[in-house]
């Protein structure tokens, strides 16, 4: 808990991420020819993005793709600026796929879900027609032009006021233009008009939906001066599905826990519709940011792009998925980030890897915290640059050959048991669940079998004695939770205190059954 941040870590605030705002509008084309020409341009631009994406995968440079005699200008009849914007769009899609850990070669333009639905071929008539229309619009209905102050706001897609009406002039790329009326009552319309009159840059993206062309205008907001930074500490945030709440941990600059609390999210679940849910989420976001403002600290959250759609450490199976379906975690964090930016509260995003595991193993038993508050505390400490050292008690436990034999025997027996149950199970859904549990047990057995010698740091290495990639926190989770406490995600983590402080697991020696301190459910070891 008193581990120091890396000496080389800069305590100064990092450069703040750009904040954008915008407005949405419907485009109305008085001329049918202009409408047709715009759709053709959108089709060519969309094809250009797909082409640029594949060339980027092959190692082509942006300069080679966008030049006047390059393929985008030649094959798709785009001007150099449209060509450059197409490459930028393709690069953004490529970067996003890589950040999510997906194979960039398997990206489906138009959406994988739509593609898989069409591929099944189970629809006919009007539903099939509507699906094909949606697929076509997503694949062919894109046009983007970035703003540029030196080009009067936007060169290719420019807002102009004519005869008291707002128009969008669309450069068709061949020296001609199409014109469309901009229809919107968006609250940011006046701000957009001010930018257009002042020739300030604004980005424009056209998209197709149900046969209509829509325009989204975005521009960079002037950053609000920071009034709450991580120099004063951070407010770490984590979420839990059952009970459904937000866990908050106020962490001081020295890494100690100053305060912790929870905010119920049950009101989100009870909201009768999407609009009501959004209002509740904004209310909670205001509470979080106001608390950070009150203490003058930054907000620390998981990095949005790392948020998993699968397990969050709260369980698995159908019951968990039903709980998870109501999660609005990503939406809530986006609102917190947006509101914090407007109020001058610094936002620090961290990699969430092992935050829940470390919180449950280390701080939940040590400080008598719930696993969710403990995870929020770890997120806060990580935002401040602290590294989590493995407690000596856990190091002693992992060096204990009797412990390793104990848990390996547990998982070896569990693998055999699950194999037998799976072979005898006739219900395919239960068989699939047993298969999933079997694969999990095999992974844990492999992880524990790979552990050699004493554990090292939180980085996962063990001073050359363990294979690279062995993560002691994951080993501990696999070795203590299910074999000793009887649950993959225990509610009561207090039985870990003797191990945490001294490496003692006397209560478990002598048998493979879970310790009575693990709770009443430990009588029958099972995965939850």
Between strands 203-209 and 142-145, the pairing is antiparallel
pLDDT at residue 280 tops 50 = yes
C-beta of residue 523 within 8 angstroms of C-beta of residue 500 = no
Q: What is the pLDDT of residue 112?
A: 86
Structure-token match 């945030």, residue found:
237
Q: What is the pLDDT of residue 308?
A: 53
Q: What is the pLDDT of residue 6?
A: 45
Confidence band, pLDDT 50/70/90 cuts, at residue 514: low
In this prediction, residues 106-116 reach a mean pLDDT of: 88
In this prediction, residues 20-25 reach a mean pLDDT of: 88
- Chain centroid to Cα 79, Å, comes to 35
The H-assigned helical ranges of 187-260 are 189-197
In this prediction, residues 75-101 reach a mean pLDDT of: 92
Q: What is the pLDDT of residue 497?
A: 87
Q: Percentages helix, strand, coil for the chain, rounded to the nearest 5?
A: 50, 15, 35
Residue 421 buriedness (CB in 10 A; 0-12 / 13-18 / 19+): middle
Confidence band, pLDDT 50/70/90 cuts, at residue 451: low
The mean of the pLDDT values for the chain is: 83
In this prediction, residues 335-346 reach a mean pLDDT of: 90
Q: What is the pLDDT of residue 293?
A: 95
187-233 tens-digit pLDDT: 888 889 888 888 899 999 999 999 999 999 999 877 788 999 999 99
Confidence band, pLDDT 50/70/90 cuts, at residue 482: confident
Range with the lowest mean pLDDT among 38-47, 104-113, 246-255? 104-113
Domains of the chain are: 20-220 (no CATH), 230-383 (3.30.420.140), 392-523 (no CATH)
Strand partners, 183: 26
Range with the lowest mean pLDDT among 8-17, 345-354, 453-462, 469-478? 453-462
Which tokens hold the place of 355? 């935050």
Closest CA to 480 of 495, 462, 458: 495
Between 451 and 449, name the one with better pLDDT: 449
Integer Cα distance of 388 and 165 in angstroms? 60
Q: What angle do CA 91, 92, 98 make, to 5 degrees?
A: 90
Range with the lowest mean pLDDT among 38-42, 72-76, 502-506? 502-506
Complete edge-to-edge strand list for the sheet that includes strand 157-162:
142-145, 203-209, 212-220, 20-28, 177-183, 165-171, 157-162
pLDDT at residue 483 tops 90 = no
Q: What angle do CA 112, 118, 122 make, to 5 degrees?
A: 135
In this prediction, residues 82-96 reach a mean pLDDT of: 94
pLDDT at residue 310 tops 50 = no
Confidence band, pLDDT 50/70/90 cuts, at residue 19: low
Which residues 6+ apart lie within 8 Å of 413 measured at CB?
Answer: 512
pLDDT at residue 422 tops 80 = yes
Confidence band, pLDDT 50/70/90 cuts, at residue 450: confident
Q: What is the pLDDT of residue 399?
A: 86
The conformational region for residue 101 under phi > 0 = left, psi -120 to 50 = alpha, else beta, is left
Confidence band, pLDDT 50/70/90 cuts, at residue 489: confident
Structure-token match 């009768």, residue found:
272
Q: What is the pLDDT of residue 78?
A: 94
C-beta of residue 259 within 8 angstroms of C-beta of residue 376 = no
Cα R_g (the chain), whole angstroms: 28
In this prediction, residues 485-504 reach a mean pLDDT of: 83
170-184 tens-digit pLDDT: 999 888 999 999 999
pLDDT at residue 140 tops 50 = yes
- Chain centroid to Cα 166, Å, comes to 38
Integer Cα distance of 59 and 29 in angstroms? 40
Confidence band, pLDDT 50/70/90 cuts, at residue 512: very low
Q: What is the pLDDT of residue 395?
A: 87
pLDDT at residue 325 tops 60 = no
Integer Cα distance of 254 and 257 in angstroms? 9
Range with the lowest mean pLDDT among 101-105, 151-155, 212-216, 317-321? 317-321
């Amino acid at each position: 808990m008193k581990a120091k941040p890396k000496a080389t870590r800069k305590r100064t605030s990092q450069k703040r991420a750009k904040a954008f705002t915008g407005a949405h509008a419907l485009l109305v084309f008085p001329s049918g020819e202009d409408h047709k020409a715009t759709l053709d341009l959108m089709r060519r631009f969309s094809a250009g993005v797909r082409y640029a994406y594949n060339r980027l995968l092959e190692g082509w440079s942006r300069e080679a793709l966008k030049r006047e005699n390059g393929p985008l200008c030649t094959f798709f009849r785009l001007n150099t600026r449209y060509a450059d914007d197409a490459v930028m769009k393709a690069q953004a899609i490529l970067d996003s796929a890589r950040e999510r850990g997906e194979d960039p070669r398997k990206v489906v333009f138009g959406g994988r879900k739509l593609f898989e639905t069409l591929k099944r071929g189970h629809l006919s008539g009007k539903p099939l027609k509507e699906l094909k229309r949606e697929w076509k619009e997503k694949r062919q209905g894109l046009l983007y032009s970035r703003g540029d102050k030196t080009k009067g706001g936007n060169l290719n897609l420019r807002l102009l006021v004519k005869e008291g009406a707002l128009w969008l002039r669309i450069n068709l790329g061949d020296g001609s233009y199409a014109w469309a009326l901009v229809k919107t009552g968006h609250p940011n319309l006046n701000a957009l008009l001010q930018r257009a009159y002042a020739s300030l840059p604004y980005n424009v993206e056209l998209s197709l939906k149900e046969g209509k062309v829509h325009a989204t205008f975005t521009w960079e907001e002037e950053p609000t001066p920071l009034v709450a930074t991580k120099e004063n500490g951070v407010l770490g945030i984590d979420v839990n599905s059952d009970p459904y709440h937000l866990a908050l941990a106020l962490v001081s600059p020295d890494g100690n826990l100053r305060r912790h609390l929870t905010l119920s999210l049950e009101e989100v679940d009870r909201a009768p519709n999407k609009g009501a849910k959004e209002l509740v989420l904004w209310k909670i976001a205001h509470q979080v940011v106001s608390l950070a403002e009150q203490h003058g600290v930054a907000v620390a959250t998981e990095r949005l792009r790392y948020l998993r759609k699968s397990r969050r450490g709260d369980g698995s199976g159908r019951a968990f998925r039903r709980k998870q379906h109501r999660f609005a975690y990503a939406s809530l964090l986006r609102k917190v980030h947006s509101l914090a930016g407007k109020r001058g509260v610094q936002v620090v995003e961290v990699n969430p890897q092992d935050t829940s595991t470390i919180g449950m193993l280390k701080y939940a038993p040590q400080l008598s915290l719930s696993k969710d508050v403990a995870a929020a505390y770890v997120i806060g400490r990580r935002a401040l640059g602290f590294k989590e050292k493995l407690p000596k008690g856990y190091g002693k436990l992992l060096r204990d050959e009797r412990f390793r034999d104990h848990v390996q025997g547990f998982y070896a027996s569990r693998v055999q048991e699950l194999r037998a149950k799976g072979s005898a199970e006739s219900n395919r859904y239960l068989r699939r669940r047993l298969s999933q549990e079997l694969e999990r047990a095999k992974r844990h057995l492999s992880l524990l079998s790979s552990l050699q010698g004493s554990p090292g740091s939180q980085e996962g290495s063990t001073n050359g004695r363990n294979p690279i990639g062995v993560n002691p926190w994951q080993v501990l989770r696999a070795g203590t939770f299910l074999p000793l406490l009887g649950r993959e995600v225990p509610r009561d983590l207090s039985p870990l205190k003797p191990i945490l402080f001294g490496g003692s697991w006397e209560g478990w020696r002598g048998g493979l059954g879970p310790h009575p301190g693990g709770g009443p459910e430990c009588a029958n070891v099972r995965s939850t």
